[in-house]
Structure 1
Amino acid sequence: MSKAVVYRRFGGPEALELRDVPEPHAGPGEVRVRVTAAGLNPMDWQIAANPEMAARFGITLPAGFGTDFAGVVDEVGADAVGFAAGDRVHGGAIGRAVADYVLVKTPATTLWRTPEGISDEVASTLSVAGLTASAALAAIGLQAGDTVLIGGAAGGVGIFAVQLAKLAGARVLGTASERTFGFLRELGTEPVAYGPGLADRVRALAPEGITAAADLFDRDTAETALKLGVAPERISTVADGPAIPGVRATGAFEAEPGSLERIAGAVRSGKITVPIAATFPVEQIREAVTTQAGRHTHGKIVVLP
């Protein structure tokens, strides 16, 4: 037997259980990864709480939990390609990541080798957040010289987006709560408080105007950018909700090929910092999800199976 976090009903953290499950083994064309770390994302608890969202990802009850993971390949099935036993890897497996083992079909589009110099804890945070941030910036054609407003800058996706935007040569303004301002400045971002009056605060910070925006949480940033005269095609959103005419809705699935490899390379070289806000043993999965869902942390939450 092995262990996995599962839920048998939709709900909040209280629905999550750490249970004994049959130990999986790599079949033809598969590799098995022994998971050493699993990074949490808002989509994980949103899927677990919302049957309609779960259905969009093909998840039915009972279900496993989590998407991002890192670990070591420890079984290689017949005809599996691209990986060997002992390879350090990281990737994504929707509804299966917080477990002792994850099976991945090969050739794999959601599994990557972990570069030397990157810990498993950091590697386990890269997939969803890194690809989402990359897609959000690509959708607006971000380039050097832009002044970009990024909504939700201190969140799990935001910490990647603001740093990728800086690497692209843009001036970066990021919405956040005031208690995160120091943290964002350390990432090269000019923070601005979210909420009513955002447009006035952005005008004061950038009187020459902004040229692009990426809204990583809710719709406030996108609507503010429109109010400030930014063309809709230079605004992206990643949050669920009614579409804003002309604004590009995107997500990790639209990231350009090679995006995650470039992000991992930037992490390895020190050009991108990945703050780990907290780690939890898997036995404290409910506490980990409660912390992540509260959105009061600076950086990523990681579970250690």
Structure 2
Amino acid sequence: MKAIKIHEFGDTEVMKLEEVEHPVPQADEILIKMYASGVNPADYVVRQGGNEILKPFLKLPLGLGLDGAGEIEAMGSDVKGFKKGDKVYGIPNFLGGTYAEFIAAKATQFAIMPNNVSFNEAGSIPSCALMAWNGMDLGKVGAGQRVLINGAGGGIGNLAVQFAKAKGAYVIGTASQRNFGFLKQLGADEVIDYKDENFASLLRDIDVVFDASPVFNEDARIIMAVALKDGGRFVSVQLPYPFSEEFLNILAKKHGEAKMIRRELDVALSLTDIAKLIEEGKVSIIVSKVYPMEKVAESHTELETKHVRGKIVLEIRKEN
């Protein structure tokens, strides 16, 4: 079988399409015939050698890919609730690599994919959706609240906008002007240009900030903290960038909370709940571009511009 591997860290040319050994599922794993993998910012971070959090775990050679969708080919003896041929989506074992024709992964990391999307669409969902879902949970987002989604046009942000709307929140998104119409179509009540010189004065009375931007900006973080109501919540996806003393002091005066997203959630249950929202038409899946495995370098180059609307997908094989 074929898979994308790296044997050294560096630019896009270190990714090689290779023949590798076919995986064999353990007792608690499923063997998945992969159709599509999401292309996520963490993929190029790993390819480049990782950040302070990831570096200790990166041992070459490595496969890339955090999430994807496919069909169950075989199951370990302890697996319950699935059958051969089920169409599933999810995340692999840590650093398991979904840029591959087959993967073996823990069954608890996958769920039946939404029945109204393609494999390419389903493959784009899990990693970003789980972070957005986790952000809504940590932020205790509810009906009638004013929720600010920073980086609303991206893979995590656009789903967060839709999840917050599904919970009945009033949603304000920050984005570049080219994404204003796109975010309004997804349900955003207001969209603010993050480059606007009056950015700070446009934000007020916010119950929850969810910072989903792939770009860290301490000044923007401070401005959004100041805009929180008393008792407000601030949730960030930017794990490598701890909250500063100045930021925490602002929240302390507001009796607010600041949290980073975490991976300690029931993945299968969360993905099942997300699938229901998609099937009910409450959440749309936005795929900006699909690349074949042979053009994985181009997919990373585009993603690294940090101006992608929705998600980029690596198509592992064509859907029948």
**TM over 0.5, yes or no?**
yes
- What's 1:198 paired with? 199
- What's 2:254 paired with? none
C-alpha separation in 2, matches of 1:37 and 1:175: 29
Q: Do the aligned partners of residues 104 and 256 (structure 1) sit closer, same or farther apart at CA in structure 2, a change above 3 Å counting? A: closer
Unaligned runs of 5+ in 2: 252-256
What TM-score does the superposition give when structure 1 sets the normalisation length?
A: 0.90
Aligned-pair distance for 1:68? 0.6
- What's 1:88 paired with? 87
C-alpha separation in 1, matches of 2:310 and 2:14: 25
Kept in 2: contact 1:135–1:256 (CA 8 A): no
Name the SS of the counterpart of 2:203 in structure 1. Answer: helix
Aligned-pair distance for 1:120? 1.2
1:31 aligned to 2:30?
Answer: yes
- What's 2:284 paired with? 273
Q: Do the aligned partners of residues 109 and 231 (structure 1) sit closer, same or farther apart at CA in structure 2, a change above 3 Å counting? A: farther
Which residue identity is paired with 1:175?
T
Name the % identity: 32
- What's 1:206 paired with? none
Deviations 1:102-140 (A, max 9, x none): 1013xx321111232222112112211111011112212
Correspondence list, 1:153-168, <5 A: 153-168=152-167
Q: Do the aligned partners of residues 78 and 40 (structure 1) sit closer, same or farther apart at CA in structure 2, a change above 3 Å counting? A: same
Kept in 1: contact 2:112–2:272 (CA 8 A): no
Deviations 1:219-241 (A, max 9, x none): 45532222224347511111121
1:101 aligned to 2:112?
Answer: no
Aligned-pair distance for 1:169? 1.1
- What's 1:292 paired with? 303
Name the SS of the counterpart of 1:157 in structure 2. Answer: helix
What TM-score does the superposition give when structure 2 sets the normalisation length?
A: 0.86
Name the SS of the counterpart of 1:248 in structure 2. Answer: strand
Deviations 1:121-165 (A, max 9, x none): 121122111110111122121111111111000000001100111
| 1:253 maps to which of 247, 263, 270 | 263
Structure 1 stretch displaced more, 176-185 or 73-82 = 73-82
Aligned-pair distance for 1:53? 3.9
Aligned-pair distance for 1:256? 6.0
C-alpha separation in 2, matches of 1:7 and 1:232: 46
RMSD of aligned residue pairs (Cα, Å): 2.0
C-alpha separation in 1, matches of 2:82 and 2:220: 42
- What's 2:54 paired with? 54
Name the SS of the counterpart of 2:273 in structure 1. Answer: helix
Kept in 2: contact 1:135–1:254 (CA 8 A): no
Structure 1 stretch displaced more, 162-171 or 25-34 = 25-34
Correspondence list, 1:1-305, <5 A: 2-51=1-50, 52-55=52-55, 58-93=57-92, 94-95=94-95, 96-105=97-106, 108-189=107-188, 190-195=190-195, 196-202=197-203, 209-217=205-213, 218-219=216-217, 220-231=219-230, 234-239=233-238, 240-244=240-244, 245=248, 247-255=257-265, 258-305=269-316
Structure 1 stretch displaced more, 5-14 or 264-273 = 5-14
Q: Do the aligned partners of residues 302 and 229 (structure 1) sit closer, same or farther apart at CA in structure 2, a change above 3 Å counting? A: closer
Aligned-pair distance for 1:252? 5.0
Which residue identity is paired with 2:284?
T
C-alpha separation in 1, matches of 2:47 and 2:306: 17
Which residue identity is paired with 2:312?
I
Kept in 2: contact 1:215–1:221 (CA 8 A): no
Aligned-pair distance for 1:10? 1.5
* Number of residue pairs the alignment of both structures matches: 296
Structure 1 stretch displaced more, 169-178 or 10-19 = 10-19
Structure 1 stretch displaced more, 188-197 or 293-302 = 188-197
Which residue identity is paired with 1:73?
I
Structure 1 stretch displaced more, 257-266 or 282-291 = 257-266
C-alpha separation in 1, matches of 2:221 and 2:313: 29
Q: Do the aligned partners of residues 269 and 125 (structure 1) sit closer, same or farther apart at CA in structure 2, a change above 3 Å counting? A: same
Aligned-pair distance for 1:304? 0.6
Which residue identity is paired with 2:207?
T
Kept in 2: contact 1:34–1:71 (CA 8 A): yes
Kept in 1: contact 2:150–2:211 (CA 8 A): yes
Query: 4+ residue runs of structure 1 moved beyond 6 angstroms?
Result: none
Deviations 1:177-208 (A, max 9, x none): 111111111111121111454212335xxxxx
C-alpha separation in 2, matches of 1:277 and 1:33: 25
Which residue identity is paired with 1:248?
A
